[in-house]
A = this chain, B = another copy of it.
């Protein structure tokens, strides 16, 4: 089978993710054909920055090898439906969305960068993991090679794995952050500067570079130190207490 080489790329979307990915594509010597966005203001801003053009009709993407849908999860299906069949691969960038959403297109793929992006914060794309999937091996390889021009960390995973990775990312980012929020609140309520905890938080992350989270686990729950747990519970109330109890129970259950 022939190898697919992706050179000409059309971008749909002009949000945070589009800014970073489009810039990365541009810097990699690829051909950014243009930017389409439902509202043209943001597209003009992005196109101007990248020295490409705003596209208002999908005909302009006719010659593209790839049309990348850098839009919200909810908008992927609708956008894909509006694109006419062409030689282009249609790919979305969502962790939580399967390949099938791109139907009726046959040449489809996923190009999922696993990082949080803010427009104003510079991101070193080189270090952002990009997870690719294709409706055929050829397409998957083509997307893999494209991603490798943007990042050093490219992985092939299927839709099922990607969905589960998206959940795992929720635990690692959103839920871990919610634990930090509880710590922040307790500090604030007791007139303790939150910065006191910074070195400990940093160490939490440092540790798991060399050992697994299970090996790194410390604290009263893993030691089954009921005396300390009791002291802690007596100091807590409301949702702090509810979280404390459930997570403690789960840690005790995990490390029997």
Closest 3 CB pairs of A and B: A174-B219, A181-B213, A172-B183
A235 close to B164 (CB less than 8 A): yes
Q: Which of B191, B195, B204, B246 contacts A177 (CB 8 A)?
A: B204
Listed A/B pairs (20) with beta-carbon separation below 8 Å: A96-B231, A114-B196, A114-B199, A115-B200, A116-B200, A161-B191, A165-B186, A167-B186, A168-B186, A169-B197, A170-B232, A173-B218, A175-B243, A175-B247, A180-B208, A184-B212, A198-B209, A205-B205, A239-B253, A246-B246
B181 close to A179 (CB less than 8 A): no
Per the 8 Å Cβ criterion, residues 102-135 of A in contact with B are: 114-116, 127-129, 131
A192 close to B165 (CB less than 8 A): yes
Kindly report how many copies of this chain are found in the complex they form together: 2
Write out, one digit per residue, whether chain A residues 192-226 have a CB within 8 A of any chain B CB (1) or not (0): 11011111111111011100111011111110000
Extra inter-chain contacts (10) besides given A127-B199, A168-B197, A239-B250, CB under 8 Å: A114-B199, A155-B193, A161-B190, A168-B182, A171-B179, A175-B243, A176-B179, A178-B217, A180-B204, A181-B214
* Across-interface contacts of A222 in B (CB, < 8 A): 174
Instruction: With both chains docked as a complex, state the minimum distance between the C-beta of A45 and any C-beta of chain B, in angstroms.
Output: 23
Determine if A100 is an interface residue (Cβ-Cβ < 8 Å).
no
Query: Which chain B residue shows the least CB distance to A220?
Result: B170
Write out, one digit per residue, whether chain A residues 242-254 have a CB within 8 A of any chain B CB (1) or not (0): 1110110011011
B235 close to A177 (CB less than 8 A): no
Determine if A6 is an interface residue (Cβ-Cβ < 8 Å).
no
Determine if A163 is an interface residue (Cβ-Cβ < 8 Å).
yes
* Across-interface contacts of A169 in B (CB, < 8 A): 183, 197, 200
Determine if A5 is an interface residue (Cβ-Cβ < 8 Å).
no
* Across-interface contacts of A244 in B (CB, < 8 A): 167, 170-171
Q: How far is the CA of A235 from the CA of B166 in the complex (A)?
A: 11
B170 close to A217 (CB less than 8 A): no
B247 close to A243 (CB less than 8 A): yes
